[in-house]
């Protein structure tokens, strides 16, 4: 029965049919599937599936890509409230675009995916200064700063990731706060993240969740001094 629901859900996501998506979820709950099963066996895998199906044609299928992540975020928030025990968030992620970059769609897609992967995301929006990235990471005791860039010059600019790295060094916070980057420039140049001194990069929102989970294993907790 779950396989049939998964098929219907994926089809509705691909068609960006929000009404049908919500009806499928309501039907699943009515049939006795738990909110936990729906989130972890239906919603999150659907995001993963969309990422894989988009592949190199992401720009062409951006509508489906965005819709899948936004629906995942909305439904996950709704269903988590129904969990028997509320799952612990994996951690706080600070996200935004750097100074000079006003392209927010990719960031919003990643934010939706990260939320579905049980991260608490603090979205700083667009045109964010390096100082604000670091200050907000400290304020929220976040181990991760995610910087989304859609243009090469904002990815490599001296007020972007490079400055965030400089500020973390000066504050001696590199053991607690790691930097992940993403966006079009990094897909064209797989080594660009090293040039801008990020710790790692992710090609899409789903991979960002996986990469960040692994990155946290090498990061000192804020509780450890």
Over residues 94-141, the pLDDT tens digits come to 999 999 999 887 888 788 788 878 899 999 999 999 999 999 999 999
pLDDT of the residue at 62: 65
Nearest CA to 179 out of 151, 207, 150, 202 is that of 202
| E strand or H helix that includes residue 125 | none
Distance CA(44)–CA(53), nearest Å, equals 14
What b/e readout covers 90-129, taking b as 16+ CB neighbours within 10 angstroms?
bbbbbbbbbbebeebebbbbbbbbbbbbbbebbbbebebb
Sign of CA dihedral 13, 54, 106, 110: positive
Q: Which residues of the chain have pLDDT under 50?
A: 55-60
User: CA of 10: how far to CAs of 4, 21, 48, 81, in Å?
Assistant: 10, 9, 11, 23
Distance CA(204)–CA(225), nearest Å, equals 33
pLDDT of the residue at 224: 67
Helical axes 44-54 vs 105-116, angle rounded to 10°: 140
Distance CA(109)–CA(103), nearest Å, equals 12
- Residues with Cβ within 8 Å of 224's Cβ and at least 6 positions away in sequence, in order, are none
Nearest CA to 64 out of 83, 49, 84, 78 is that of 49
Q: Give the pTM.
A: 0.78
Domains of the chain: 2-80 (1.10.1240.10), 92-216 (3.40.50.280)
């Amino acid at each position: 029965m779950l396989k049939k629901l998964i098929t219907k859900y994926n089809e509705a996501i691909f068609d960006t049919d929000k009404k049908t998506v919500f009806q499928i979820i309501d039907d699943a709950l009515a049939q006795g599937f738990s909110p936990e099963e729906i989130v972890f066996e239906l919603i999150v895998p659907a995001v993963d599936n969309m990422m894989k199906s988009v592949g190199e044609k992401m720009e062409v299928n951006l509508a489906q890509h965005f819709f899948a992540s936004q629906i995942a975020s909305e439904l996950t928030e709704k269903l988590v409230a129904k969990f028997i025990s509320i799952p612990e968030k994996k951690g706080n992620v600070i996200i935004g675009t750097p100074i000079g970059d006003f392209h927010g769609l990719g960031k919003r897609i990643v934010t939706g995916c990260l939320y579905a992967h049980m991260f608490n995301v603090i979205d700083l929006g667009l045109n964010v200064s390096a100082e604000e990235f670091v200050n907000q990471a400290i304020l929220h005791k976040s181990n991760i700063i995610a910087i989304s860039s859609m243009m090469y010059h904002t990815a490599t600019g001296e007020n972007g990731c490079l400055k965030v790295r400089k500020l973390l060094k000066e504050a001696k916070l590199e053991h607690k706060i790691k930097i992940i980057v993403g966006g079009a420039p990094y897909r064209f140049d797989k080594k660009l993240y090293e040039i801008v001194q990020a710790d790692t990069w992710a090609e899409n929102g789903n991979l960002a969740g996986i990469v960040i989970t692994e990155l946290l294993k090498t990061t000192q907790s804020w509780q450890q001094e």
